[in-house]
A and B are shown apart, each in its own frame.
Chain A
Amino acid sequence: MEQQVSYTLDSTLDTVDHAEESATRIATELGFGEDEVMQISMAVREGAVNAVLHGNQYAPDKKVILAFERTPEDLVITIRDQGKGIDLNGIPNPLAPENLLKTSGRGIFLMRSFMDVVEIRPSQTGTEVKLIKHVHGSSVGNKEGSQ
């Protein structure tokens, strides 16, 4: 992977699969362990789902921008949509007893569970989600050894 790579993608389910596959490939190339690769790819998938469904609402004229950046310490993934901006105050806690049996609302929770840092920046022109996974830890030796 280059230091930074980005994709401009349509608001389709294919984009969700593409985002997940890219995350899996890049995280694997960077030497993350199998569990971490799964966590990263799932977090990216959830971010892409939110961008396509809730952000752009499948609008054909709106794009999803997906970027991967490798820094010495982190894998930084940015997912940006062109929707109206998510209302952060309107996100219920999926672990609350009254929400356990809801059929949606777990995407951001899973992102936060799987990544070291999750930043969500809504604006009137879209929402930007930044997902960060630190590369230190058990997989660092593999990563550094492969470069």
Chain B
Amino acid sequence: MSMKLSTRQVDGVTIVDCSGRITLGEGSVTLRDTVRDLLSKGNKKIVLNLAEVNYIDSSGIGELVSAFTTTKNQGGELKLLHLTKKVHDLLQITKLYTVFDVKDDETAAVKSFK
């Protein structure tokens, strides 16, 4: 299953609902393009909802890191929401879990932006 993304606005925060696989190729490119497009339009408060992401490889992890640093470098914030166990475990073993701001409640995630 390829990756699908949709965006919605909640109190000035852009929620990106992701589903499928974030892997080398199409999935990674789709995520990259979406985040860059959001930033170019001034949407700098971004939450990636990964509840429906069932697979991610090292390229996908790299893409999450890229999205995080690109957003930060442009003065924004990017947070992760609803990690599946697989993604959670991957971020743990790569020591990225503490790098990202990870939330498990959407309302709390939205309110956490400054």
Residues of A within 8 A of B (CB): 13, 16, 38, 42, 45-46, 49, 53, 94-95, 100-104, 106-107, 109-110, 113
Contact = CB atoms under 8 A, between A and B. Distances in A.
Contacts of A110: 57-58, 90, 93-94
A94 B62 CA distance: 11
B65 A103 contact: yes
B57 A103 contact: no
B5 interface: no
12 contacts: A16-B24, A16-B25, A46-B58, A49-B24, A53-B24, A94-B94, A103-B62, A103-B66, A104-B59, A110-B57, A110-B94, A113-B93
Label chain B's interface by main secondary structure.
Answer: helix
B58 A49 contact: yes
A95 B24 contact: no
Contacts of B69: 101
B99 A101 contact: yes
Given A13-B24, A13-B25, A16-B24, A100 B61 contact: no
B65 to A, nearest CB: 5
Contact of B86 (A38, A100, A106, A109): A38
Contacts of A104: 58-59, 62
Given A13-B24, A95-B94, A46 B57 contact: yes
Interface of B: 23-25, 57-59, 61-63, 65-66, 68-69, 86, 90, 93-96, 99
A109 B94 contact: yes
A100 B99 contact: yes
A28 to B, nearest CB: 15
Contacts of A16: 24-25
Chain A to chain B: the 8 pairs with minimum beta-carbon distance, closest first: A103-B62, A106-B58, A107-B58, A103-B66, A13-B25, A104-B62, A95-B95, A103-B65
